[in-house]
């Protein structure tokens, strides 16, 4: 129903209220239910509260995709549960190697939507993601940068890696992707004097002329 975008509020309420003991569901089914609610933009506070209280004790049963889908869907539904966010951040430190690029970007983006900062996790993600940027599409790069910006985390090393990497992929990114990435880099520059002092390949600006004016010396115009 989620992927079909079939939204029947009465039916969804009945499902959420009739599921019973969450322990009777396996991790795959539980994450898919939350993911479907996110796709349908159906927010059942009682059910989501139970999920957030229940899942931390079973996170080891969830796949990396299941965890990222769950926290991303909660963000879509604007359901903020601090203990759950603390638990998932603590858990992810040891499992980053299992995450694909989209899972990483969706998780960072969701934490940004909640303005929930775990400095240690942000650092670990930067270290993990930097050598794997080739596997990130334009939207994933943007979402990752946006999430970091929202929680006020700025890594000069990671941003410079992005600046050096993106020009190599200009031919594979559309203008919207490049504009969004350039904007996020400019946004980060506002908070990092060290970053503003660093040169960045001007090729990143060549297909993003609409935002070059907002970008400091890291992205010099032609």
Q: Please give the residue range of the domain that contains residue 44.
A: 1-84
State whether 190 and 151 are in the same domain.
Answer: yes
Better-predicted residue by pLDDT, 198 or 120: 120
State whether 123 and 41 are in the same domain.
Answer: no
Q: Quote the number of domains for the chain.
A: 2
State whether 13 and 75 are in the same domain.
Answer: yes
Where does a domain end: 57, 84, 111? 84
d(CA 72, CA 74): 5
State whether 221 and 113 are in the same domain.
Answer: yes
pLDDT-derived band at 17 (thresholds 50, 70, 90) equals: confident
State whether 64 and 7 are in the same domain.
Answer: yes
Residue 65 has pLDDT above 60, yes or no: yes
State whether 76 and 124 are in the same domain.
Answer: no
pLDDT at 9: 82
Where does a domain end: 67, 84, 101? 84
State whether 11 and 62 are in the same domain.
Answer: yes
State whether 79 and 187 are in the same domain.
Answer: no
State whether 124 and 176 are in the same domain.
Answer: yes
Report in angstroms the alpha-carbon separations of 174 from 142, 153, 171, 180: 13, 27, 8, 10
d(CA 92, CA 186): 29
Residue 196: which residues within 8 A CB-CB, separation 6 or more? 189, 216, 217, 218
Residue 215 has pLDDT above 60, yes or no: no
State whether 103 and 202 are in the same domain.
Answer: yes
State whether 151 and 206 are in the same domain.
Answer: yes
Q: What percentage of the chain has pLDDT greater than the value 90?
A: 60
d(CA 29, CA 94): 23
Report in angstroms the alpha-carbon separations of 170 from 117, 122, 165, 195, 207: 31, 26, 9, 22, 8
User: Do 3 and 40 form a contact (C-beta atoms < 8 A)?
Assistant: no
State whether 74 and 54 are in the same domain.
Answer: yes
pLDDT at 175: 87
- Per-residue pLDDT of 116-133, as tens digits, reads 999 999 999 999 999 999
Where does a domain end: 84, 102, 117? 84
N residues, the chain: 222
User: Do 177 and 207 form a contact (C-beta atoms < 8 A)?
Assistant: no
Residue 202 has pLDDT above 50, yes or no: no
């Amino acid at each position: 129903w989620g992927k079909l975008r079939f939204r029947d509020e009465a039916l969804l309420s009945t499902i959420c209220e009739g599921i019973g003991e969450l322990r009777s569901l396996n991790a795959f089914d539980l994450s898919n239910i939350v993911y479907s609610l996110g796709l349908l933009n159906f927010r059942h506070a009682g059910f989501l509260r139970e999920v957030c209280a229940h899942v931390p004790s079973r996170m080891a049963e969830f796949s990396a995709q299941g965890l990222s889908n769950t926290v991303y869907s909660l963000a879509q539904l604007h359901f903020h549960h601090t203990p759950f966010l603390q638990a998932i951040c603590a858990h992810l430190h040891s499992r980053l190697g299992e995450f694909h690029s989209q899972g990483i970007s969706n998780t960072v983006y969701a934490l940004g939507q909640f303005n929930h900062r775990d400095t240690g996790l942000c650092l670990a993600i930067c270290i993990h993601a930097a050598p794997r940027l080739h596997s990130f599409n334009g939207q994933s790069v943007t979402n990752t940068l946006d999430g970091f910006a929202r929680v006020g985390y700025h890594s000069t090393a990671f941003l410079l890696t992005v600046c050096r990497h993106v020009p190599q992929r200009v031919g594979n990114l559309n203008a919207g992707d490049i504009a969004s990435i350039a904007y996020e880099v400019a946004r980060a520059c506002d908070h990092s004097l060290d970053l503003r002092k660093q040169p960045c390949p001007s090729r990143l600006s060549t297909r993003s002329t609409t935002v070059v004016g907002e970008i400091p010396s890291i992205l010099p115009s032609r």
